[in-house]
Structure 1
Amino acid sequence: MQNNFTNKLNAFSVLYVEDEDGIRKNIEEILRHLFKETNSASNASEAYAKYLEFNPDLIITDIKMGAETGIDLIKKIRKSDSKTRIIISSAHTDLDYLLQAAELHLVKYIVKPITQDKLMNALEAFVNTYNEDKIYNLDPNWIFDYKESIISNGNEIFTLTKKENTFLRLLITKNRLITYEELENSVWDDDSIMTANAMRLFIKNFRKKLPQNFLKNIQGLGYKLIKE
């Protein structure tokens, strides 16, 4: 499994819902090594309470769990939340369940038993949903969400200014040195002038939101990203 993939997972949180104790403990142990935060629940009622408390990025839930099913849980969540990613696991391939699941905007449907390959494929699909929303991996545990204009290191979230957002995306997409002229033409507003003092203050504040030593100044030329 690629380091880039696991680095991205480590920036997210997960809630795992399974009523069989043995399965829940085994899968939860795997998830704890992959995600920044892992919580679990043994039924739909407990899961909904933990969803409200922890606001996970991903929910992995079984379907059949006594009185309330995983489908019931997801329907309740989807009444007010269309963004939280959800993966369903089930020993059943019943067409009715599949049809209901298809309407709930799921990332993946895993047929039990949950093998490591099935789990990793589903988690890769989860990460890819963020790639589609312009999520970039900056460094281990650090992600840049262009759409939301934030940087997260798993513990803190930094909100970017419009200039910072534009500049970081330019650095990432070009993947080369960005000259002072490019910085002025692409990042600075048409109605403002990029003075030396204004640029220094901009870079000073911008660096506070980035991994340490991530942005390098090439004297007299411009800036580039330094990734380990």
Structure 2
Amino acid sequence: MKEEILDSLSKISILIVEDDNVALTLLKSALKPYCMSVYTANDGYEGLESFNKNNPDVILTDIHMPMMNGFEMMNEILKTKPHQKFIIFTSYDTDNNLLKSVKAGAALFLKKPIDIEILRSMLMSLSVKSQDKLIKLSHDISINLEREKIYKGGNEVYLTFLQNKLFWLLAYNLNSLVTYDKITEYVYEDENVSKSAIQNIVLRIKKELGIKIKNLSELGYMMTSQR
């Protein structure tokens, strides 16, 4: 069982958001040797920036933090990636907090002090929940949303860095509008970018994959699945 847990952890990236530096260091030390990547942040704002930059598989977050708390950060992240996986931990284990966690999108809830073995088991359960269900974008193109893989004629294909970030932002929000502001925030990490530059990337994705991405006037873009 332990070997299974360690094997599952080695395939996932994790972001830890915690304002207590001692707790943050302990969690990082306990997970880093076993996980593919471990990122850290001291508050919700830093956590949001790290999410936009690194797109972790699982986010571990405290609730009570300065600047931006865990719930506020989660709500912002879920606007970009509705299926993001979270584990929330807090010292205040009340029914109200648990309910708020579930409504905010938390996958699992853990009370402090953190039991590392329980945390590792939770992470394993999240990693094995990834489904192999494919979503068809066209006759040739299908995607695995959980594993973030693109297939063309059954073979995996790859995009450039910016193309990949934009593609998955649109895929997370399939059949829904993704605004220019959201594209700038997530893909370009709030750097100034022209609409024509975004359009050029969209055109390259459409040309390479042969999929439908609609431009909705001056609002943004929408990727559509095959009906």
TM-score bracket relative to the smaller structure: 0.5 to 0.7
Partner residue in 2 for 1:28: 28
Partner residue in 2 for 1:112: 112
Partner residue in 2 for 1:91: 91
Shift of 1:116: 1.7
Shift of 1:125: 2.2
Instruction: Say which SS state the counterpart of residue 23 (structure 1) adopts.
Output: helix
Q: Matched residue pairs, number?
A: 148
Larger radius of gyration: 1
Partner residue in 1 for 2:210: none
Change (3 A) 1:149 1:61: closer
Shift of 1:43: 0.7
Q: Which runs of 4+ in 1 moved over 6 A?
A: 149-152
Shift of 1:163: 4.6
TM-score (norm 1): 0.58
Structure 2: how far apart are the matches of 1:90 and 1:55? 23
Please say if residues 149 and 160 of structure 1, whose CA atoms lie closer than 8 Å, have aligned partners that are also in contact: no
Please say if residues 90 and 111 of structure 1, whose CA atoms lie closer than 8 Å, have aligned partners that are also in contact: yes
Change (3 A) 1:150 1:53: closer
Is 2:144 the counterpart of 1:148? yes
Structure 2: how far apart are the matches of 1:124 and 1:87? 12
Structure 2: how far apart are the matches of 1:9 and 1:81? 21
Partner residue in 2 for 1:125: 125
Partner residue in 2 for 1:134: 132
Q: Kindly provide the CA deviation profile for residues 134-175 of structure 1, in whole angstroms up to 9, marking residues without a partner as x.
A: 39xxxxxxxxxx9619989xxxx7x5444558xxxxxxxxxx
Change (3 A) 1:78 1:4: same
Q: Kindly provide the CA deviation profile for residues 89-130 of structure 1, in whole angstroms up to 9, marking residues without a partner as x.
A: 111112322111111232210001001222123212212321
Amino acid at match of 2:76: K
TM-score (norm 2): 0.58
Is 2:47 the counterpart of 1:44? no
Gaps of 5+ in 1: 136-145, 166-228
Shift of 1:85: 0.9
Instruction: Say which SS state the counterpart of residue 24 (structure 1) adopts.
Output: helix
Change (3 A) 1:5 1:66: same
Gaps of 5+ in 2: 134-141, 157-227
Partner residue in 1 for 2:102: 102
Q: Kindly provide the CA deviation profile for residues 44-99 of structure 1, in whole angstroms up to 9, marking residues without a partner as x.
A: 11111111111111100000112421111101111221122111011111232211
Aligned-residue identity in percent:
20
Change (3 A) 1:102 1:62: same
